Amino acid sequence: MVQANTFLQPKVYIDDTEITSDLQGRVSFTGNNQLNKLTVKLSHPDIQHQALLYKKIKFFLNNGSSDTVPTFTGIITQVTPSEKETSITALDPRILISGKDGHKVRLTDTDNYDGYTVGAFLYSFITEYVNTEEKRLGVDMLTDTNPTISLTGQRTQRGTVYTIAKNVVKKVIDSDSDFLNPLTYFFDVIESEKGPQLVIKKEKALNEAPITSFTYDDGLIKYSYKRRTPKNTAIYKGGKFIYSNRPTGQSVVSINTTDFKKRGIPLESVAEQRQLAIEQVLLEQQEKDEISITVSKGYDLGLGSLVRLNIPEDDISGTHRVVGKSISFGNKMTCTLKLNRKPLKLSTFIQ
């Protein structure tokens, strides 16, 4: 069995100053539009006396070689000092446009972003209001969805920028994808030499070539999985859609009139309502399993990457999407990948 790689030299920089102390912690890429998170404990005698909140922190994994870009760049949101160590929590720069302390926007009939796509909205707002003194959240790699969705008609008295953008993106079904295998979009942050970049990613089709494979002879240490009954019945105002003969029992999702309005579907169009119901059920059918694998390679895999799992379990052996990743570091390193099923917090696209 492959053993975990122990050739690891993690480094932490706070405001570009290296922290020379023993490190242990965890970096998590939860996926599904949730913010990436770093938790680290520093055995440094003086750092607990410094003003650390809201400072920039960079984490380099340096697994086997020196990294040229960090594994994680974030903003310190919590510091807990003690006599022997200091615990730090940091979130990726999307925290600047989300949460209770993030930038908020008021959209009214006279002051709004009507006509802007979600990509154009984010680019304009972040450039004008977030990156005023330094570029903390890059938008150089920011593109748009296909089809594009306009913010026309979006109104809020005080909504966070990221919440508005998420609510738009999570409704988009890629117009070029196979109808029976619909693809969606999600937000991510990609590290680059120019700093962390906000991007909109489209899911990869499962029939594309995986970027790597895992076997017990190559990278796989252990795996586990949970099986659920995906939604196989959708109820909408115009009727009901049933997928297959439902051998595992009925699991229902309800689609209400608000969902139709957000997608611009007229309530009198039963055909378009049915198509939305079908899309939702087909999306659910792609997420039957929640698979977790512990690996000794693939630490740099990005969210949405395709990997192949070659194991004796025929029904889960095959190609899967990486939907989450966590790396624990310290005296030893553990890398865990979450495959296929999205986290429960935002597991459905309609409700």
pLDDT given for residue 287 in this prediction: 56
- Tens of pLDDT, residues 180-204: 678 899 999 999 999 999 999 999 9
53: closest CA among 80, 93, 82? 80
pLDDT given for residue 93 in this prediction: 98
Distances (CA, A) of 273 to 184, 277, 281: 18, 6, 13
**CA dist., res. 123 & res. 310, Å (int):** 41
Whether residue 142 contacts residue 194, with contact meaning beta carbons closer than 8 Å, is answered with: no
150: closest CA among 176, 126, 171? 171
Strands 72-81 and 56-60: antiparallel
pLDDT given for residue 209 in this prediction: 95
Q: How far is CA 165 from the centre of its chain?
A: 14
Q: 298 phi and psi, to 5 degrees?
A: 85, 20
Whether residue 46 contacts residue 91, with contact meaning beta carbons closer than 8 Å, is answered with: no
pLDDT given for residue 49 in this prediction: 61
192: closest CA among 242, 139, 145, 143? 139
- List the domain boundaries for the chain: 11-93, 96-202, 212-228+287-346, 233-285
pLDDT given for residue 346 in this prediction: 29
CATH class of 212-228+287-346: mainly beta
Buried b (16+ CB within 10 A) or exposed e, 199-213: bbbbbbeeeeebeee
Helix (H, G, I), strand (E, B) or coil at 93: helix
Question: pLDDT tens, position by position, for the chain (351 residues)?
Answer: 334 445 678 899 999 899 888 889 999 999 999 999 999 998 865 666 668 999 999 999 987 778 899 999 999 999 988 878 889 999 999 999 999 889 999 999 999 999 999 999 999 999 999 999 999 999 999 999 999 989 999 999 889 999 999 999 988 888 887 776 788 999 999 999 999 999 999 999 888 999 999 999 999 999 998 766 667 677 776 677 777 655 566 777 676 656 555 556 565 667 777 777 777 766 665 555 689 999 999 999 999 999 999 998 877 889 999 999 999 998 888 999 999 855 433 233 332
Helix (H, G, I), strand (E, B) or coil at 275: helix
pLDDT given for residue 348 in this prediction: 36
